[in-house]
Amino acid sequence: MFRYLFKKLEELLLPERQTNNGARYLEPVDALRLIHQRISHLAQQIESHAETAPYPQVAERLRRIANEKWNSGNRLKQIIEKLHGSIPEQLQFSGTGKNHWQRLIRDLEDQKELDDLLSRYEFALSRQLPEITDFLQELKTMDDSHRQSLTQLIAVADPQAAQT
């Protein structure tokens, strides 16, 4: 009885649970929901950072990245809804920095975390949901491009600038 209650409580509170071999496991819809949350968070963060970018061409590049992330998030939301999942209300982002360079560093770090998350679940999702394999590959390719763009923007940003 207690084992059953504990298992149910664990499922409710910890959707990411351990398998018999100790590895972490998420149901496919839960993994997609987590990826969607990270994409949406990063899109919102980059969009906000574009508003405070010091140069118009940098702001435009950041807006383009944010727009591509929003589009991917919308496609992913449609996939999740087809699987009878739902998207919870999004929380506001908290990624800021004292200057443009620090904000770009934060964007790149969050992009790398998204890349790691995709890598962790890509194989399992492709096996369990083969119909989304092409989308996952497009997402990975786009994220590689975003990581390169953010790296280039950081390379030309001045870390000593006092801009806010």
Domain of 93 in residue numbering reads as 30-156
- Mean pLDDT computed over every residue of the chain: 86
| Number of domains within the chain | 1
**Dihedral sign, CA of 42, 43, 46, 52?**
negative
With respect to residue 76, please indicate whether it lies within any of the assigned structural domains. Answer: yes
CATH number of domain containing 41: 1.20.1260.10
Between CA 113 and CA 125 the distance in angstroms is 18
With respect to residue 151, please indicate whether it lies within any of the assigned structural domains. Answer: yes
Q: pTM of the entire structure?
A: 0.80
With respect to residue 6, please indicate whether it lies within any of the assigned structural domains. Answer: no
Cβ–Cβ under 8 Å, residues 42 and 70: no
* Interval 7-17 mean pLDDT: 57
Give the model confidence (pLDDT) of 61-74 as tens digits: 999 999 999 999 99
With respect to residue 23, please indicate whether it lies within any of the assigned structural domains. Answer: no
With respect to residue 3, please indicate whether it lies within any of the assigned structural domains. Answer: no
- Taking Cα atoms as reference points, which of 109, 143, 142, 137 lies closest to residue 125? 137
With respect to residue 1, please indicate whether it lies within any of the assigned structural domains. Answer: no
Is residue 76 scored above 80 in pLDDT?
yes
With respect to residue 163, please indicate whether it lies within any of the assigned structural domains. Answer: no
Give the model confidence (pLDDT) of 116-142 as tens digits: 999 999 999 999 999 999 999 999 999
Q: What percent of the chain has pLDDT over 70?
A: 78
Q: In which residue are the tokens 């800021």 written?
A: 96
